[in-house]
Amino acid sequence: MSYEINYDDQKFKDVEADKKAAITDNDKLYSGMIKDSAGFYQDQIDAANDWEKKQTQLQQEQTDFAIQKIEQQKDQAKKDYTKEQSGAYVDWQKQSNEFGAEAEKRAAQGLENTGFSESSKVSMYNTYQNRVATARESYNRAVIDFNNSITQARLQNNSALAEIAYNALQRRLEFALQGFQYKNQLLLDQANKKTELEQIYHERWQDVLNQINTENALAEDIRQFNAQMAEEQRQFNQLHPVSSGGGGGGGSYSKKSGSTSKKSSSSSDSAKITKDYSSNNDASVNIKSVIDAGLAPSSGTTIANAVKSGTHTATQKGNQVYIEKAKHNINPTFGLLFSKKRF
């Protein structure tokens, strides 16, 4: 049997509110984790950039220092060449001076103004030229070597700078990829957790629905029980009408046998039962007491039979009727109407 469900019931609203709050907290948690991870990997990328700048600066400084030393050696070679050139000239001038020591020595030997003298002058000049040429060639070779060393240093520097840039790029790419993968994993975990929360609160919503259906079923059982009790009361009233007669009726019963007196007593009990029952038409059953008594969920007939058999009793307190297990047996004939108030 299906019952009409009030989906505006506060229980449904509470489940939806809890679900919304749980999903909001979940989204907030993962959003924070994603933000923190993005900041962490960006810090790693920035660190790789700083490393590249520092390594590039260090490499460039080393190369500049190496080139500076080569330039210094180059300058020294030029000075040496100039010095050798000047020395060769000075030596030639000394040897070829007509008034110098060499001229006096040749004169003393009788060689001045002779063929030997002229030959000696030519030889001294050639020696001077050879020294200058040798010095110039040595300097030129040194300049070429120095320039080659500078070029090589610059090439090596470029290679080192390229390697530094490549390594830094590799680091940046690795961190960027790790950050991307971790972010995707967090997004996937967030979606899975959201699905899990939706399933949990769907089950809670179903539990509320089942609870309401159970309550509706129990309410229907109580309604049926009330109808059955009302019908039994009506039948009882028809079979045992309450006498409005006074002393005549009572006197006639008192003069009869003991069995007749018992019947009169039954009629008096019937009047009391009818009065008690009629005065409690507005009383309602306390559902929790039915559950605690072990009679829920069950039909109204089952509850009525339990009270009628004497295993359970019904007691009215205010406008509530409480069902409980009987502590002792009662008269099964009148147990239902005497102990059970109308639901």
Q: Which of 254, 245, 274, 265 is nearest to 337 (CA)?
A: 274
pLDDT of residue 300: 61
Handedness of CA 36, 38, 39, 40 (dihedral sign): positive
Q: Greater confidence, 111 or 93? A: 93
Question: Using an 8 Å Cβ cutoff, are 235 and 299 in contact?
Answer: no
Which amino acid is present at 173? Answer: L
22-57: pLDDT as tens digits: 999 999 999 999 999 999 999 999 999 999 999 999
pLDDT of residue 173: 93
C-beta neighbour count of 222 within 10 angstroms: 20
pTM exceeding 0.85: no
Locate the DSSP E strands across the chain. Answer: 284-285, 312-317, 320-325
pLDDT of residue 305: 77
Q: Report residue 333 as tokens.
A: 């004939």
CB proximity list for 276: less than 8 A, separation 6 or greater: 338, 341
Question: What φ, ψ does residue 321 adopt, rounded to 5°?
Answer: -110, 125
Q: CA 149 → CA 39, 58, 342, distances in Å?
A: 46, 20, 116
Which sequence spans correspond to the domains of the chain? 10-211, 282-343
Cis bond before residue 241 (omega within 30° of 0)? no
pLDDT of residue 262: 37
239-278: pLDDT as tens digits: 877 654 444 433 333 333 333 333 333 333 333 333 333 3
pLDDT of residue 72: 93
pLDDT of residue 320: 80
Q: Is 159 exposed, middle or buried (0-12, 13-18, 19+ CB in 10 A)?
A: exposed
Give the Cα separation of 170 and 177 in Å (integer).
11
